[in-house]
Amino acid sequence: MSSRNASPERRPAARAEVEDAILRAAEAEFAEKGYDGATTAAIAARAGLPKANLHYYVATKEALYRRVIGGVLDAWLAEARSFDENGPAAEALTRYIEGKMDLARARPLGSRIFAREVMSGAPAVRDFLETTLAEWVKARGAVVEGWIASGQVRPLDPKVLFFTIWAVTQHYADFGAQIAALNGGAPLDDDAFAAAKRQVVETILRGIGPDRA
Amino acid sequence: MSSRNASPERRPAARAEVEDAILRAAEAEFAEKGYDGATTAAIAARAGLPKANLHYYVATKEALYRRVIGGVLDAWLAEARSFDENGPAAEALTRYIEGKMDLARARPLGSRIFAREVMSGAPAVRDFLETTLAEWVKARGAVVEGWIASGQVRPLDPKVLFFTIWAVTQHYADFGAQIAALNGGAPLDDDAFAAAKRQVVETILRGIGPDRA
DNA sequence: CGTCAGTTTTTCCGATCGGTCAAACGCCCC
DNA sequence: GGGGCGTTTGACCGATCGGAAAAACTGACG
């Protein structure tokens, strides 16, 4: 098919690299400044190309935003699969919470874009929330109900449990600046973050565990 | 002193009312759209006056924003005093968590403005974070250490406990749109919110309680 | 060497924003 | 009733933004 390249990995790769640089630049700008605060000129500059060139690869600022948001949602779903591997409640929840904490540390930008989006009334992700996420919550809520029935978890509303887990884990991404300010100005180092992760997991697991008589 | 009014409560009250309307309109706009997304025209329209009139009461958009942020921080500090009344750990923490949950429900706008501010790198609240809040955390951290020493709380990092409480309570303000989407499209009603509040308090209290042998 | 598709870049445009200005308005006191 | 002062308002301005347009450049291929 592609007969125009002697070295078949040069030009197509370059295009993919440029598009990837644009997406990463846009993610950073949208996370820091928000949709309105971000400018296409700043995104282009961060990606290393003139503003007009950006519009050759992506039609509008909104289309670029929707692509970035789509990537964020994909990453969310991919990571949420860690919930589904079998095992006892404590193992599954530990895996899930630790996965979300690690994601918050490794890629905090997506979480911030999502938070801004939801705080603005979720115009671009409402459909995701009402369909995909609602189904996810319903299905995994049934799993939690099973844990309650088998006595692994005390009786509670699974939805509130999910809210709790999301809130705490995303907090480490969204409020990184606050955490750093209370940590002497620097982000948590690896040891401090690992300790926080252990405490979060332990607190939630104890918090939802069954009564111990 | 003020010799220009026959009825001394008429005109000054009107001025205070206008300024209050401006502050409430600005709070709503900044919470929904963010600093860059909010426009002085929209704020003025929401407050019921022409844009030019807004600038008679407040010099610049940034000055208005700083006034709003100042009010948010004041409300935070006022509400945080509920932590300080004496009593056993469970009572103090229940009071504190329930107070923050109620505040998140009654006035979610301030929480969203604060969240956006921190996600943007906290340019307007960095000083608050590094001084006032840092001192608050240090002092109340010592209280938590006392609870640990007296066996009311298992050994843990007080800062991570505060992060957990803030994360969960503010989540109900910041992610109200997400919670509504997962609640059939409507915000939690009074009963559902009260149940969520109970579960949050119970989860955290069990989560940090001492080992029960 | 000329063509041509894909890409880059300079220039420019209309819309919108925060903020200014000066005229008009309302109201009180002499 | 006429100054005078605080307030209101429409008109306007410079800056900035998202985006369009078109010329210039590039490298592969006949």
Is A59's CB less than 7 Å from nucleic acid strand D?
A: yes
Q: What is the pLDDT of residues B136-161, one digit of tens each?
A: 999 999 999 999 999 999 999 999 99
Q: Residue A117: what are its φ and ψ, rounded to 5°?
A: -60, -50
Chain A contact present for B182, CB below 8 A: yes
Q: What is the pLDDT of residue A15?
A: 81
Q: What is the pLDDT of residue A86?
A: 82
Cβ atoms of residues A20 and A65 within 8 Å: no
Mean pLDDT of all residues in chain B?
Answer: 93
Q: Are residues B212 and A209, on separate chains, in Cβ contact within 8 Å?
A: no
**Residue B20 half-sphere exposure toward CB, CA atoms < 13 A:** 6
Is A131's CB less than 7 Å from nucleic acid strand D?
A: no
Is A38's CB less than 7 Å from nucleic acid strand D?
A: yes
Q: Would residue B68 be called left, alpha or beta, if left means φ above 0 and alpha means ψ between -120 and 50 degrees?
A: alpha
Q: Which of B199, B200, B201, B211 best probes binding to A when mutated, by most A CB atoms within 10 angstroms?
A: B199
Mean pLDDT of all residues in chain A?
Answer: 93
Q: What is the pLDDT of residue A128?
A: 98
Structure-token pair, residue A117? 């989006």
Mean pLDDT of A184-203: 98
Is A101's CB less than 7 Å from nucleic acid strand D?
A: no
Amino acid at B64: L
Q: How far is the CA of A30 from the C1' of C4 (A)?
A: 38
pLDDT at B176 over 90: yes
Q: Is B1 exposed, middle or buried (0-12, 13-18, 19+ CB in 10 A)?
A: exposed
Is B60's CB less than 7 Å from nucleic acid strand D?
A: no
Q: Are residues A164 and B168, on separate chains, in Cβ contact within 8 Å?
A: yes
Mean pLDDT of A153-163: 98
Q: What is the pLDDT of residue A57?
A: 96
Q: Which residue is nearest to nucleotide C16 (CA to C1')?
A: B39
Structure-token pair, residue A48? 């290393």
Q: Which runs of consecutive H residues, i.e. helices, occur in chain A?
A: 11-37, 40-47, 51-57, 61-80, 89-106, 108-119, 126-128, 134-149, 158-174, 176-181, 190-208
Using pLDDT thresholds of 50, 70 and 90, give the confidence band for residue B211. Answer: confident
Q: What is the pLDDT of residue B14?
A: 79
Q: How far is the CA of A53 from the C1' of D25 (A)?
A: 14
Q: What is the pLDDT of residues B73-105, one digit of tens each?
A: 999 999 999 898 889 999 999 999 999 999 999
Using pLDDT thresholds of 50, 70 and 90, give the confidence band for residue A71. Answer: very high
Q: Chain-centre distance of CA B142, in angstroms?
A: 23
DSSP tag of A7:
S
Which H helix or E strand runs over B90?
Answer: helix B89-106
Measured CA to CA, the distance from residue B192 to residue B6 in angstroms comes to 52
Q: Are residues A118 and B177, on separate chains, in Cβ contact within 8 Å?
A: yes
Q: How far is the CA of A45 from the C1' of D27 (A)?
A: 26
Chain A contact present for B185, CB below 8 A: yes
Q: What is the pLDDT of residues B177-203, one digit of tens each?
A: 999 999 999 999 999 999 999 999 999
Measured CA to CA, the distance from residue B202 to residue B168 in angstroms comes to 13
Which structural domains are found in chain A, ordered by start?
10-58 (1.10.10.60), 62-208 (1.10.357.10)
Chain B contact present for A15, CB below 8 A: no
% of chain B at pLDDT higher than 70: 93
Structure-token pair, residue B198? 């109970």
- ipTM of model: 0.93
Nearest to A140 by CA among A121, A127, A157, A123: A157
Chain B nearest C-alpha distance from A165 (Å): 8
Q: Which residue has the higher pLDDT, A180 or A86?
A: A180
Q: Would residue A188 be called left, alpha or beta, if left means φ above 0 and alpha means ψ between -120 and 50 degrees?
A: beta
Q: Which of B33, B134, B204 sits opposite A120 (nearest CB)?
A: B33
Closest nucleotide to B18 by C1' from CA: D7
Q: What is the pLDDT of residues B34-51, one digit of tens each?
A: 999 999 999 999 999 999
Is B87's CB less than 7 Å from nucleic acid strand D?
A: no
